[in-house]
């Protein structure tokens, strides 16, 4: 989809479909009021009949409205004017775009960026609108035998704001939003691809492809032999249970000064997690193809950064492996030696994410990072604690934690912090190794982070547990592309491109 910012008189603008927001009790938004005047009050007359209702996201398509040049007008309910929020704005946009996408228009002119909710601004309202529309029109059809493209796919979204000053902010928001949308779509595509196709080697190939597309991205793949030579015993122990060779994917983007310390993003790239010998129950096990969504978000964030040409240095590290039961697989009680030299008793082979991440995190020390953030579908316990709305955030650095939380709030891709107190560390005590890989039933999301904290002591580090946010289950099953918006916002802010 193409995006473009438009201003000007709504009565005079030509468009296939003009989207107007209407508040509860038939209260017209500013843009709707302008169209109402131009049409001699027809809009208010129609609304008086009550067909639109009061619910956020209800729509009504109108044809041949007099006095304006739009071929169609699509009214969308935005709820009570005083309660307009970023969430209700996104919901209204998604509903309107869904209707437009089903119908005939190939282009729409959407005035919702002009309705700025409390606590938002034109920049955010425009970016929110663009991203909600992109999310709504995303399709994943690579694994269908006969993908059916719509006859006239919605291919152009025009984002309308009232004045020139707003247009400046809206244009910046559109450039940023478009890059984020591309990153989100890449993360969703990789996440949705099944485990038989999206293997560690496939991910490595995707990194190479990205490197060929963008000369500024340097890609290196560490193979099993190299990992053996380095001593990545934890990562390799997970991969031993699989016929697919593991890959450690390294992607370096140099957009900053040569001496700028890089931001390092480490993403869990477990392309299928059956649990290993501590095998998972069959129900919903298919969803463990999404266990590489942390890695996918690193790909997506790099793509967004490349599209934006961010003036900073960024390194993506994606340890990629499968976790399957096999004669050579980890067994409960096995002790492995990590790259850091610390030994780990593998009490549960299903706690494999931390095993591949700890070696990737230790490896990241060599980049002398400004900060390192790991992103992982790490624990079911995080979903129990926080549900599907925020990602879990744990960090050993107050400043970094605030930056990440703020990026989440700003982008609407939120995170919520959990404590990383030393009080929890003794849950990882082992009689046979330096630590166990599991900490019991209590506070599972925290003890998983406590494990990683033992590998990040020398760095400013934050951990995002995205087990609840990376994909949706049920009828809407599919990857969300989160937390690409949060991470890209974090980088935009660090690069000084947003306030």
Closer by beta carbon to ligand BES, 173 or else 203 = 203
Residues forming beta bridges with residue 264, ordered by sequence position: 315, 372
In the list Mn ion, Zn ion, ligand BES, none, the entry touching 478 (Cβ below 5 to 8 angstroms by class) is none
Site string for ligand BES, 419-458 (x = CB under 6 A): -------------------x-----x--------------
Identify whether the C-beta of residue 224 lies closer than 8 Å to the C-beta of residue 328. no
Among 136-144, 158-166, 167-175, 284-292, which window interacts with Zn ion (CB under 5 A)? 284-292
Q: Which of 135, 273, 374, 413 binds Mn ion (CB under 5 A)?
A: 273
Least CB distance to ligand BES at residue 331 (A): 15
Least CB distance to Mn ion at residue 378 (A): 9
Would you count residue 381 as binding ligand BES (CB under 6 A)? Answer: yes
Three-class DSSP labels, 351-414: CCHHHHHHHHHHHHHHHCCCEEEEEECCCHHHHHHHCCCCEEEEECCHHHHHHHHHHHHHHCCC
3-state helix, strand and coil shares in percent for the chain, rounded to the nearest 5: 40, 20, 40
Would you count residue 135 as binding Zn ion (CB under 5 A)? Answer: no
Q: Which of 186, 351, 375, 492 binds ligand BES (CB under 6 A)?
A: 351
CA pair distance 79, 93, nearest whole angstrom = 12
Among 113-121, 217-225, 353-361, 402-410, which window interacts with Zn ion (CB under 5 A)? 353-361
Ranges of H-type helices in 49-109: 86-102
CA pair distance 342, 360, nearest whole angstrom = 14
Among 10-18, 55-63, 227-235, 372-380, which window interacts with ligand BES (CB under 6 A)? 372-380
Closer by beta carbon to ligand BES, 482 or else 494 = 482
Phi-psi domain of 4 (left: phi exceeds 0; alpha: psi -120 through 50; beta: other): beta
| Structure letter (DSSP) for residue 106 | S
Nearest to residue 492, comparing CAs of 348, 314, 333, 299? 314
Q: Which of 36, 273, 359, 374 binds ligand BES (CB under 6 A)?
A: 273
Q: Which of 124, 127, 247, 354 is catalytic?
A: 354
The token pair at 25 is 């009790």
Least CB distance to ligand BES at residue 332 (A): 11
Q: Which of 128, 135, 273, 359 binds Zn ion (CB under 5 A)?
A: 273
Degrees, nearest 5: CA angle 417-422-424: 80
Whether 280 is a known active-site residue: answer yes
Q: Which of 16, 178, 352, 403 binds ligand BES (CB under 6 A)?
A: 352
Closer by beta carbon to Zn ion, 167 or else 376 = 376
CA pair distance 407, 401, nearest whole angstrom = 10
Q: Which of 168, 172, 280, 417 is catalytic?
A: 280
Per-residue exposure over 104-125, b if at least 16 CB sit within 10 Å of its own CB, e if not: ebebbbbbbbbbbbeebebbbb
Least CB distance to ligand BES at residue 343 (A): 18
Least CB distance to ligand BES at residue 383 (A): 6
Closer by beta carbon to Zn ion, 273 or else 322 = 273
Question: What phi and psi, each to the nearest 5 degrees, are found at residue 398?
Answer: -60, -45
Whether 172 is a known active-site residue: answer no
Would you count residue 353 as binding Zn ion (CB under 5 A)? Answer: yes
Site size toward Zn ion, by CB under 5 A: 4
Helix (H, G, I), strand (E, B) or coil at 83: helix
Among 164-172, 379-387, 399-407, 417-425, which window interacts with ligand BES (CB under 6 A)? 379-387
Respond yes or no on whether the N-terminal peptide bond of residue 386 is cis (omega within 30° of 0): no
Residues forming beta bridges with residue 462, ordered by sequence position: 373, 395
Neighbours of 418 (CB within 10 A): 19
Q: Which of 135, 334, 350, 374 binds Mn ion (CB under 5 A)?
A: 350
E runs forming strands in 101-246: 107-110, 156-160, 217-222
Please report, as ranges, the residues that interact with Zn ion according to CB under 5 A: 270, 273, 291, 353
Please report, as ranges, the residues that interact with Mn ion according to CB under 5 A: 273, 350, 352
Residues designated catalytic: 280, 354
Please report, as ranges, the residues that interact with ligand BES according to CB under 6 A: 273, 291, 348, 350-353, 377-381, 383, 438, 444, 467
């Amino acid at each position: 989809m193409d995006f473009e910012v438009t201003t000007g008189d709504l009565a005079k603008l030509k468009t296939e479909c003009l989207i107007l927001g209407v508040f509860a009790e038939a209260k017209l938004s500013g843009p709707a009021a302008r169209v109402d005047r131009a049409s001699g009050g027809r809009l208010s007359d129609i609304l008086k009949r009550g067909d639109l209702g009061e619910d956020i996201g209800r729509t009504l398509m109108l044809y041949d409205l007099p006095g304006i040049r739009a071929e169609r007008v699509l009214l969308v309910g935005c709820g009570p004017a005083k309660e307009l929020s970023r969430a209700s704005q996104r919901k209204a946009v998604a509903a309107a775009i869904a209707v437009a996408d089903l119908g005939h228009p190939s282009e729409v002119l959407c005035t919702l960026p002009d309705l700025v909710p409390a606590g938002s601004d034109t920049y955010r309202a425009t970016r929110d609108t663009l991203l909600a529309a992109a999310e709504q029109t995303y399709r994943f059809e690579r694994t269908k035998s006969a993908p059916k493209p719509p006859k006239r796919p919605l291919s152009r979204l025009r984002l309308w704001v009232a004045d020139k000053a707003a247009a400046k902010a809206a244009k910046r928001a559109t450039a940023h939003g478009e890059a984020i949308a591309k990153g989100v779509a890449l993360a969703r595509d990789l996440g949705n691809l099944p485990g038989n196709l999206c293997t560690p080697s496939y991910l490595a190939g995707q990194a190479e492809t990205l490197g060929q597309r963008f000369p500024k991205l340097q890609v290196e793949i560490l193979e099993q032999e190299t990992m053996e030579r380095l001593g990545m015993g934890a990562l390799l122990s997970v991969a031993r249970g699989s016929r697919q060779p593991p890959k450690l994917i390294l992607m370096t983007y140099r957009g900053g000064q040569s001496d700028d310390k890089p931001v390092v993003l480490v993403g869990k790239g477990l392309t299928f997690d059956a649990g290993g010998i501590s095998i998972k129950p069959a129900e919903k096990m298919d969803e463990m193809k999404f266990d590489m969504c942390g890695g996918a978000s690193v790909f997506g964030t790099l793509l967004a950064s490349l599209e934006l040409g961010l003036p900073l240095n960024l390194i993506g590290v994606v340890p990629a492996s499968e976790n399957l039961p096999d004669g050579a697989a980890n067994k409960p009680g096995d002790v492995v030696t990590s790259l850091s030299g610390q030994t780990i008793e593998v009490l549960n082979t299903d706690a494999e994410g931390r095993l591949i991440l700890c070696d990737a995190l230790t490896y990241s020390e060599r980049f002398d990072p400004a900060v390192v953030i790991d992103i992982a579908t790490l624990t079911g316990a995080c979903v129990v604690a926080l549900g599907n709305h925020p990602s879990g955030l744990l960090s050993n650095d107050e400043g970094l934690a605030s930056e990440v939380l703020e990026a989440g709030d700003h982008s609407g891709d939120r995170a919520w912090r959990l404590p990383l107190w030393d009080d929890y560390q003794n849950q990882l005590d082992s009689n046979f190794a330096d630590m166990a890989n599991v900490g019991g039933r209590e506070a599972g999301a925290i003890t998983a982070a406590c494990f990683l904290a033992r590998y990040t002591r020398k760095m400013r580090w934050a951990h995002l547990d995205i087990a609840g946010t990376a994909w949706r289950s049920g009828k809407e099953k599919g990857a969300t592309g989160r937390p690409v918006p949060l991470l890209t916002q974090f980088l935009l802010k660090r690069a000084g491109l947003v306030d």
